[in-house]
Amino acid sequence: MKVGILGGSFNPPHAGHIHISKLALKKLGLNQVWWVVAKQNPLKENQEKSYQKRLNLCAEILQKDRRILVKKCDEIYSYKLLENLQKKFPQIKFFWIMGGDNLENLHKWKNYRAFIKNAKIAIFSREKTLMNIQKMPAWNFLKNYQPKIFWSENLNISSTKIRNEELHNR
């Protein structure tokens, strides 16, 4: 069985998350994609919406596709989450799915080198971030582990943009 992990705060979940999940199912031949909703992203300040509310929003948005599942995450660090999943489910081949914009801060993730060594990483383009991939601090290390890179349509949507629009409309 092959499973893609799309980790994040999903604050809020949106069509872009669904878009790369469906692309990953197709391009990587996955059986499922698990949206692993983090209680707290260590690189961000406290998320506006509660953890349970974000979980509920993810479950609501995914009602129609049974191949994409929502999973709770008590682990704050991605490397530890992946380690735990690999131990708990040794029969599953996991792929870490990420938008290209996440590469800009990958070098700030705790134990990012150990994470990269242990993960099969699939990167989906987002806006123009992959145009300068060689300039991203983690790239020189990451490229040695042959991540799969996919160019895809840009939906011009992000959780940050949605939150900013909500604040503006209040």
Residue ranges of the domains in the chain?
2-168
Can you tell me the distance from the alpha carbon of 88 to that of 90, in angstroms, rounded to the nearest whole number? Answer: 6
CATH class of 2-168: alpha beta
pLDDT of res. 32 = 97
Contact 94, 120 (CB under 8 A): yes
User: 51: helix, coil or strand?
Assistant: helix
pLDDT of res. 154 = 65
pLDDT of res. 164 = 56
Arithmetic mean of pLDDT over the chain: 86
The more confident residue out of 140 and 49 is 140
Residue 9 has pLDDT above 90, yes or no: no
Kindly state the helix (H) or strand (E) to which residue 27 belongs, with its residue range: helix 15-27
Q: Is the dihedral of CA 136, 138, 144, 145 positive or negative?
A: negative
Query: What pTM was estimated for this model as a whole?
Result: 0.86
Residue range 142-152, pLDDT digits in tens: 999 999 999 87
pLDDT of res. 169 = 61
Residue 82 has pLDDT above 60, yes or no: yes
Quickly state the pLDDT bin for 167 (edges 50, 70, 90): low
pLDDT of res. 26 = 96
Quickly state the pLDDT bin for 168 (edges 50, 70, 90): low
Quickly state the pLDDT bin for 170 (edges 50, 70, 90): low
Quickly state the pLDDT bin for 165 (edges 50, 70, 90): low
Residue 64 has pLDDT above 70, yes or no: yes
Say how many C-beta atoms besides its own lie within 10 A of residue 98's C-beta.
23
> For tokens 């499973």, what's the residue?
3
